[in-house]
Amino acid sequence: MRLDEPSAPFRVVEGQPAAACPPVSLTGLLVAPLVIETPATRSRLLGVRLRPAGALALFGLPQQELTGAAVDLHDVIGGGETRRLTERLAAAGSDEARLRLVQRWIVDRLGDGPRTDPSVAYAVAEIERTGGTTPIAGLIDRVGASPKRFATAFEHQVGVKPKLFSRIVRFRRLAAALPGTEESLSQTALAYGYYDHSHMNADFREFAGVSPRSFLAATPFPESSSLTD
């Protein structure tokens, strides 16, 4: 969500059909790089990263409908609620107040959302706990579901099949740790469950669109505030 009066729109230039980004958007799980062109002027943004199954619980949307896509929140919850939310956020006196306001809004909506499959929630937790290295066949055995039923339920709630989600979790875990490590890229690849450097490099190319070295050389997004509790 943009908190300022935009001088020019953000525009998707790679990863999706070229188009202006809506002022308030809902983005699904990304499975490929997404490049957005921003105005040269300073912008103020607010973002919320949902847990897997978050869109299903909050909006009743099957996650696979959002995978790799960004939709206008207006089309999901209606113009009235979107406008009220954006007006309250714009009027809040600080970033902390905005984050708390969004947190309350999410909690209020959760009561109306559909129930999620506990076996999928368990699988997601195990995949995240192990950094994407737990065998999927073992997970299916533990939850007592057929492979086909489990894969369908998982994709409905998370947006992708379990094996692809595991790869994304492994990549994200590595990408978060890479800037602070003193080990070589090959040693780091092995430590995070990759067979070798080339295996890690392939995931970086697929999910980030750059090599690990180019990723390390990139400038992180500056001056951001977060609320994780």
- Residue 155 is part of a domain; what is its CATH number? 1.10.10.60
Tally of structural domains, the chain: 2
Whole-model pTM? 0.84
* Segments in the chain below pLDDT 70: 5-7, 13-18, 112-113, 219-229
Alpha-carbon distances of 55 from 19, 81, 114, 115, 157, rounded to whole Å:
23, 16, 10, 12, 8
Range of the domain at 131: 118-217
pLDDT of residue 219: 59
Domain boundary residue, one of 52, 85, 110: 110
* Cα–Cα dist 209/203, whole Å: 9
80 shares a domain with 21: yes
pLDDT of residue 218: 75
* Cα–Cα dist 68/121, whole Å: 21
pLDDT of residue 13: 67
DSSP designation for 222: P
* Cα–Cα dist 149/46, whole Å: 37
pLDDT of residue 9: 75
Smallest CA-to-CA distance from 23 within 87, 67, 68, 66 is with 87
87 shares a domain with 68: yes
95 shares a domain with 65: yes
pLDDT of residue 137: 95
